[in-house]
Amino acid sequence: MLAIVCPGQGSQTPGFLTDWLEVAGVREHLDELSQITGRDLVTHGTVSDEQTIKDTAVAQPLIVAAGLVTARALFGDQLPVNSVLAGHSVGEITASALAGALSEPEAMTFVRERANAMAQAAAVRPTGMAAVLGGDPEEVLSAIAANGLTPANMNGGGQVVAAGTMEQIEDLNQNPPAKARVIPLKVAGAFHTEHMEPAVGVLQQLSATLHPTDPTRPMLSNFDGQQVASGAANLQSLVAQVSRPVRWDLCMDQLSGLGVSGVLELAPAGTLVGLARRGLKGVKTLAVKTPADLSSAAEFIAEHTA
């Protein structure tokens, strides 16, 4: 079985979509998505600098759009039958669109409003996130709590992401748990914490105008790693996800339980296959970063969906 995984915020890098514009239909697809989001995704994916694409209001639509255009380049309009989808944080919106739980226009509308609302929430006071790598799991969680931070992403593979005020992040960075490293992330807020609660109300209002449908492919939830039961339940989870921790560790546990043999990550790829290499021993991985990866990806897909 093939797992198709969609990365979250912080995975973007300047110019990462440049080579993709040479693929037939990609520029036009990005233009369509730009119209929905009110952001020039072609420019942001090719020439915008690191600080510009770090902005939550830019980063989130850009990441979802990148996943959608690379998925179309890989699969056309039909995902492999023997596959399961999962997305990390904002990547769960990408997965929802690919699974048919939201139409592509509604997924881009959702990520536009999510990004804008989260950016506004993040502007209230300086907040951020930092990855804590290694260390004893209990000691890591104790150190995070002692600094008033939230374990916002339980990523598995020895990685926990702490979120809170910049002062709290700096205190943790200056006094890391034993045998652990603290790495500040390129995000502009304390996502998946109480700091994002104002965005939840915005998305609750938006959800009443959307038309979710049941997924056509199995899709896992960030909340508990379980398969999404319905389109309506998925939409409720996407709304709640903004202010509650992401349990990617449970998603990886579920992928293992399903017998997944290969993990393919859509652009901007790299983060999730890195976690899979540490947390899913023996499972093959492939990061689709540029069009040069398409031919090897086709072979990888065939191997793990046969």
Q: Which of 47-56, 57-66, 185-194, 229-238 has the lowest mean pLDDT?
A: 185-194
* Measured torsion, CA atoms of residues 100, 102, 108, 109, in degrees rounded to the nearest 10: 170
Please answer whether residues 125 and 165 qualify as being in contact, where contact means their C-beta atoms are separated by less than 8 angstroms. Answer: yes
Sketch the domain layout of the chain as residue ranges.
Answer: 2-122+193-305, 127-184
Residue 89 annotated to the active site: yes
The pair phi, psi for residue 75, each rounded to 5°, is -115, -10
Q: Residue 158: left if φ>0, alpha if ψ -120 to 50, beta else—which one? A: left
* Cis status of the peptide bond prior to 215, with omega within 30 of 0: no
In the chain, at which residue ranges do the beta strands (DSSP E only) sit? 2-6, 83-87, 127-134, 150-156, 159-165, 180-184, 262-265, 284-287
Tokens 């907040």 sit on residue: 127
Catalytic member of 29, 192, 195, 304: 192
pLDDT digits (tens, 9 = 90+) for 84-111: 999 999 999 999 999 999 999 999 999 9
Give 133's strand partners.
159, 181
Element (H, E) at 133: strand 127-134
- Determine the average pLDDT of the residues in 118-135: 94
> For position 157, what pLDDT does the model report?
85
Q: Supply the mean pLDDT for the chain.
A: 96
Taking only the tens place, the pLDDT of each residue in 188-217 is 899 999 999 999 999 999 999 999 999 999
Instruction: Tell me the C-alpha distance between 71 and 78, whole Å.
Output: 10
Residue 223 predicted with pLDDT over 90 = yes
2-122+193-305 is a CATH 2.60.40.1260 domain: no
Task: Give helix 271-279 / helix 248-257 axis angle, nearest 10°.
Answer: 60
Whole-angstrom Cα distance, residue 280 to residue 291?
Answer: 26
Query: Of 89, 221, 237, 261, which one is the catalytic site residue?
Result: 89
Sequence-ordered list of residues with C-beta below 8 angstroms from that of 78, at least 6 positions apart, any chain: none
239-262: average pLDDT: 97
49 to 13, 68, 121, 122, 205: CA distances (angstroms): 8, 22, 23, 20, 33
pLDDT at 186 over 90: no
Q: What are phi and psi of 128, to 5 degrees?
A: -165, -170
| Burial classification of residue 175, based on how many CB atoms lie within 10 Å of its CB (0-12 exposed, 13-18 middle, 19 or more buried) | exposed
- Phi and psi at residue 250, to the nearest 5°: -70, -30
Confirm if 71 and 77 have CB atoms less than 8 A apart. Answer: no
- Map residue 4 onto helix, strand or coil: strand
Q: Is 237 a catalytic residue?
A: no
Q: Which residue has the tokens 């996800």?
A: 241
Mean pLDDT of 34-50: 98
Hey, how many other C-beta atoms are within 10 angstroms of the C-beta on 282?
Answer: 6
pLDDT of 77 above 90: no
pTM of the model: 0.95
Distance CA 136, CA 223 (A): 23
Residue 66: pLDDT over 90: yes
Task: Give the span between the Cα atoms of 6 and 89, in whole angstroms.
Answer: 9
Tell me the pLDDT tens digit for each residue of 141-154: 999 999 999 999 99
DSSP code, position 220: B
Terminal Cα-to-Cα distance of the chain (whole angstroms): 8
Homologous superfamily of domain range 127-184: Malonyl-CoA ACP transacylase, ACP-binding (3.30.70.250)
pLDDT for residue 215: 96
